[in-house]
Amino acid sequence: MIGVTFEEGLQEQAATLALQLDLSLVDDPARFQYGLRLTPQGLDIVDLHKKQRPIRVDFHQLNEDRSGGDLIKAVNTRMHKTVLDATGGLGRDAFMLAKAGCQVILMEKNPIIHALLQDGLARAQDLEAVQRMTLIHADSLIAMPDYTPEVIYLDPMYPARKKDALPKLEMQVFHALLGAEQNEQELLQVALNQARKRVVVKRPIHAPVILPTGLQFKGKTTRFDVYLK
């Protein structure tokens, strides 16, 4: 499904990466749908059969992004400064929270996505926000009980809608690597046990709530359900 590919001159590093992640080097693209590609600019994921924009963690680009207002309000970054992002993904929301002044711990259990995050953080050490981000390779259901932050943030994988058109590359890859669903209710229950102040859950705007809540922040396509402690 996914193998390690590389640009010229990086074969030795690619072989080491493949060994670390227990992946094969791409020898025949017909055998693989996606490639974890090592380039002089860092790691990305490419579709080996379609021309689509690669998936890359680029915090310098995110640093120019002025969005994230609803997320900032839902977490209430003026009051809360320690956040555990239990579903790290590509780190976009965690970066926005760090940029707002929070100390953020990201948990990511998938080794390939973790590698993308690790690479992105290493390339952005000059950014003040990145200095406030700590990445942990862990299953959050197992690791969360060791932490008691003010806020726990969740962005669980939502089932793909049944449409003829496939979702964009990022969603295709995430569903391929993580599966279509996570145990959302169990994840939320553990978070509610550990967070000192609140739990914030990101959801598609029309998705059902995981557990009833009276506080929501809604955008055009996304909402944040807030559970106060």
Tens digits of per-residue pLDDT, 69-93?
999 999 999 999 999 999 999 999 9
Q: Is 79 part of a structural domain of the chain?
A: yes
Quick one: 43 and 79 in the same domain? no
Quick one: 26 and 93 in the same domain? no
Task: Supply the mean pLDDT for the chain.
Answer: 91
Q: Is 177 part of a structural domain of the chain?
A: yes
Quick one: 17 and 103 in the same domain? no
CB 98 within 8 A of CB 130: yes
CB 151 within 8 A of CB 199: yes
Q: Please tell me whether 22 is known to bind a ligand.
A: no
As a whole number of angstroms, the distance between CA 71 and CA 99 comes to 12
Q: Is 53 part of a structural domain of the chain?
A: no
Quick one: 31 and 64 in the same domain? no
Q: Is 94 part of a structural domain of the chain?
A: yes
Instruction: Supply the pTM of this predicted model.
Output: 0.92
Q: Please tell me whether 44 is known to bind a ligand.
A: no
Q: What is the DSSP string of 1-45?
A: -EEEEE-TT-HHHHHHHHHHHT--B-S-GGG-SEEEEEETTEEEE
Quick one: 174 and 131 in the same domain? yes
**Residue 70 is part of which domain span?**
60-228
We report the CATH number of the domain holding residue 128 as: 3.40.50.150
Quick one: 92 and 172 in the same domain? yes
Predicted local confidence at residue 163, as pLDDT: 47
Quick one: 98 and 168 in the same domain? yes
Tens digits of per-residue pLDDT, 154-174?
998 765 554 444 457 777 777
Quick one: 12 and 86 in the same domain? no
Q: Is 52 part of a structural domain of the chain?
A: no
Q: Please tell me whether 92 is known to bind a ligand.
A: yes
Q: How many C-beta neighbours within 10 Å does residue 62 have? A: 22
